[in-house]
Structure 1
């Protein structure tokens, strides 16, 4: 009898451990396809804006598919329904595959192989078949939803010049992104800030002189640590925050549905952050430090001296300065994470632009603030631009969590 009780107790413990570990294993389906999308972006050198669009489409499709089975949260826009016996893993994998295939048809063999690997552990039967069908339907509807979102608009940026005068011939990036359809905002201009400070103002004088000193390639005031951090954050785009989202999901032991929701929320917030910041950037067309400092004599501000050969620590990104794009995305992501999961212990990141360096934080606020400081130390952004960018990002993150993919009780509330 004693042996029987011990056996039952041991079996109970085993079942409990399996049950505790199963949700995290299932959530790997979301994380694996996120990693696959990031790997494609790395291999194909996809720029941040189109990669953000791809991720948001993929993760919303995955969420809509698995949420149609559990009905745990309000959907984004799709009215899908499925039996609760439908395979969530199959639905998620097929939704991800089909969205990525629509964007990267040249990668069909690779994507098909990844799908085969994802589906292989799932037992054959009606549940799997239903999951595959549901994933296809979700992907198809999301692809249709974003078919005319403005992302294919031709680039028509007009370089400012006078007849016959040479100007640099590299066309700036992302000039059409601000006009694309957001996922959450009403328009790209919803959170457009006021103009940058006047060139004779105290704020301008303070901030341009700060970056002239600390952001210079040969700065004697920037510390070795600041130089390392500045170089670390030459790394941009969703590949800088997806690993952090993964660590948050793992720290909280999220199951597949909650993991799908978290990635969908961060992806659409990240996408809308880029829409908002490029709307503002091209609206104001404000000069970068390298331009301002080399032309400081044009401002008639005696407190901002000209340096004819000034260079930033890194190569300045090819788009207008105001506001800071890296700052808005990191603030939007950290706001979503803070609201959904809170601070979750130590998290870390590595960067291809600072080999051998690992940055670690225990607070999401510290991560966001480091990104902003790094753009000053790199010589790319004025401090006022980083603060404005963070404020915009916090607003977009808060709006995303307040209005999207909410608990099922939200479906009974009046629309906002």
Structure 2
């Protein structure tokens, strides 16, 4: 035990001294390429699940590249090593560029121009050349690592019907997402929850009646602010939380390595949240409020009457209800941020689905809770589904921080 403690102390001291003697590397390159990836997703209308995969690959590659120089944290999977004189900015930029290029080869001119902008300020020389080579190696290995992660599997969702009977013909989204390889979890079902409540239960009766009243398009009890918040969170995917990660890193004055780590952790936690929630959604295939309320007579529950023309505030997302995807991702991201940086002052988000509106918070918990309430006010999710989603997200966030990209103490622990 004494030898292990002394080893950890020496590693910590060495890393601290080396970090103090190294030239400060700016974290802007991490944020710039994150913004670039988000801009591409907006332009190409990339759906949340594939965009989350892109971000995870890019940010893990960037982290592995810069961490190979500083050796401040345990790597994700790669065994890279580089001289401390290697340019961190060059390594990060090339890693990001090469990952994005592998996924968006049609954008080569645009990505090459962005890479040039990242590399021009870096002085020419051996440091820059080494950084470029390191970034290429990190990207190549991460691309290979995720080549067979299941994301290219054919969608085979089978609509429930009887022979000859019409059903809506839009194919639900993300039916294969739950079977893709997670970054942190052992499988998509690791945190699969128990089933939704029975349709005759007190919990079901309470929550379906709540959403019938407050989530209706013509609700008379939903407040104007709740309506605004409900519409605000029609916005989906990583573009809803990446601005928060940026604000956290900026508030804490993170250097390039710590910023790369924060973005990598939030990206893989967000990706695994998608995997977990869609595993559960398609396992249970539970009905959305619009379906349940218009077919309430099928449940033989006299306390939940049918409303033949009920509509939610917005258009219901095209995948099963249980659990809430917004809720799991916001809770996973909040948990990672709370553990790594804590509450960091006021932060804010804007949304293309609520032009002119800016939502602000001072506590990460309040942000996560607002997201969950918004899905109820929008008429998309029952309250029990939001609570289960948040619980799953907290578990995934905690697992991510506890097991991935840890500090020098992780490198001193014996391999198991």
TM-score bracket, normalised by the shorter chain, equals over 0.9
150-159 or 6-15, larger mean C-alpha shift: 6-15
Q: Which runs of 4+ in 1 moved over 3 A?
A: 1-25
Q: Equivalents in 2 of 1:273, 1:38: separation in Å?
A: 18
CA-to-aligned-CA distance 1:67-121 (integer Å, 9 cap, x gap) = 0000000000000000000000000000000000000000000000000000000
Check whether the contact 1:23–1:253 (CA below 8 A) recurs between aligned residues: no
Q: Equivalents in 1 of 2:412, 2:8: separation in Å?
A: 45
Q: Equivalents in 2 of 1:60, 1:13: separation in Å?
A: 26
Change (3 A) 1:82 1:143: same
Indicate the residue corresponding to 2:46 in structure 1: 46
Check whether the contact 1:24–1:250 (CA below 8 A) recurs between aligned residues: no
Structure-1-length-normalised TM-score: 0.94
Q: CA RMSD in A?
A: 7.3
Q: CA deviation at 1:413?
A: 1.6
Change (3 A) 1:85 1:172: same
Q: CA deviation at 1:414?
A: 4.0
Indicate the residue corresponding to 1:117 in structure 2: 117
CA-to-aligned-CA distance 1:262-295 (integer Å, 9 cap, x gap) = 0000000000000000000000000000000000
Check whether the contact 2:93–2:118 (CA below 8 A) recurs between aligned residues: yes
310-319 or 19-28, larger mean C-alpha shift: 19-28
Check whether the contact 1:23–1:256 (CA below 8 A) recurs between aligned residues: no
Change (3 A) 1:260 1:8: closer
Change (3 A) 1:336 1:378: same
- Structure 1's unaligned 5+ residue stretches are none
Q: CA deviation at 1:21?
A: 16
Q: CA deviation at 1:22?
A: 12
Q: CA deviation at 1:3?
A: 53
CA-to-aligned-CA distance 1:352-400 (integer Å, 9 cap, x gap) = 0000000000000000000000000000000000000000000000000
Check whether the contact 1:207–1:382 (CA below 8 A) recurs between aligned residues: yes
How many residues align? The count is 416
Q: CA deviation at 1:4?
A: 50
Q: CA deviation at 1:8?
A: 39
SS state at 1:359 partner? strand
Change (3 A) 1:119 1:187: same
Q: CA deviation at 1:411?
A: 1.8
Check whether the contact 1:231–1:354 (CA below 8 A) recurs between aligned residues: yes
25-34 or 128-137, larger mean C-alpha shift: 25-34
SS state at 2:414 partner? coil
Q: Equivalents in 1 of 2:357, 2:7: separation in Å?
A: 49
SS state at 1:26 partner? coil
CA-to-aligned-CA distance 1:30-58 (integer Å, 9 cap, x gap) = 00000000000000000000000000000
Change (3 A) 1:377 1:85: same
Say whether 1:348 aligns with 2:348: yes
Change (3 A) 1:338 1:187: same
CA-to-aligned-CA distance 1:141-195 (integer Å, 9 cap, x gap) = 0000000000000000000000100000000000000000000000000000000
Indicate the residue corresponding to 1:28 in structure 2: 28
Change (3 A) 1:91 1:288: same
- Structure 2's unaligned 5+ residue stretches are none
Q: CA deviation at 1:412?
A: 2.3
Change (3 A) 1:126 1:174: same
Change (3 A) 1:297 1:26: same
Q: CA deviation at 1:409?
A: 1.9
Change (3 A) 1:391 1:11: closer
Change (3 A) 1:414 1:395: farther
Q: Equivalents in 1 of 2:189, 2:216: separation in Å?
A: 32
Q: CA deviation at 1:20?
A: 12
CA-to-aligned-CA distance 1:184-219 (integer Å, 9 cap, x gap) = 000000000000000000000000000000000000
Structure-2-length-normalised TM-score: 0.94
Q: Equivalents in 2 of 1:4, 1:209: separation in Å?
A: 58
Check whether the contact 2:73–2:407 (CA below 8 A) recurs between aligned residues: yes
19-28 or 238-247, larger mean C-alpha shift: 19-28
Check whether the contact 1:94–1:135 (CA below 8 A) recurs between aligned residues: yes
Q: CA deviation at 1:237?
A: 0.2
Check whether the contact 1:314–1:378 (CA below 8 A) recurs between aligned residues: yes
Q: CA deviation at 1:13?
A: 27
